[in-house]
Amino acid sequence: MLYKFIDIPQLEEIQQHFLKEVPRWPSSDHRNFPKDSEYLAGCTPLIEYLEKVNLWRYVKYIGILQIYPHVSPIHVDRGEENTPYAINIPVYNYIDTHVAFYEVVSGETSIAKTTEDTQWTDYSTAEMKEIDRIYYHKAAIFNTQVPHHVCNYTDDVRISVSIRFTKSLIDVIDLDSL
């Protein structure tokens, strides 16, 4: 499964919380914050949803992604191989942006480390074929282990939140129940 849209109650309130609470960074970045961080702790509707679907106890951290106008490199998220599924929540400027998924046709890949705690598999020297796209209009379960990249052709930053887990979602919940 590449992705699956899910209905999270009070999504607009959750989006407004993150838009208000998270400072803007000067360039595209993905920063991770612990489960008890100020950014997640005050977001009661999201915590209540995760408790209701029995996922709160498995939350490892939240990633806050701010992508300024450009196309990010094709990558998979390293360090998440045993927990490939994340819940991604669009926050700001997501309607006219998308994430494209790819498969390797031929060529080599390598490991790229771009921040102190995040690594990606870099596909810049491989021949890739686009296999799907997701245009966020609501939250989605997202497979971080399929090569992908964010395309932001707008004039503004794109902000999203990615909830990462300590266990693979397919081991702890029926994904169709979300």
Q: What are phi and psi of 93, to 5 degrees?
A: 55, 55
How far is it, in rounded angstroms, from Cα 37 to Cα 29?
18
Q: Average the pLDDT over 97-106 and give the result.
A: 94
- Residue type at position 5: F
What is the residue extent of each domain of the chain? 3-168
Does residue 7 register a pLDDT over 80?
yes
pTM value surpassing 0.85: yes
Among the four given CATH numbers 3.40.50.300, 3.40.630.10, 3.30.70.260, 2.60.120.10, the one describing domain 3-168: 2.60.120.10
Backbone angles phi, psi at 89, to 5 degrees: -120, 120
Report the alpha-carbon distance of residue 120 to residue 110 in Å, rounded: 8
Checking if the pLDDT of 2 tops 80, the result is yes
Output the pLDDT for position 113. 62
Percent residues over pLDDT 70 in the chain:
94
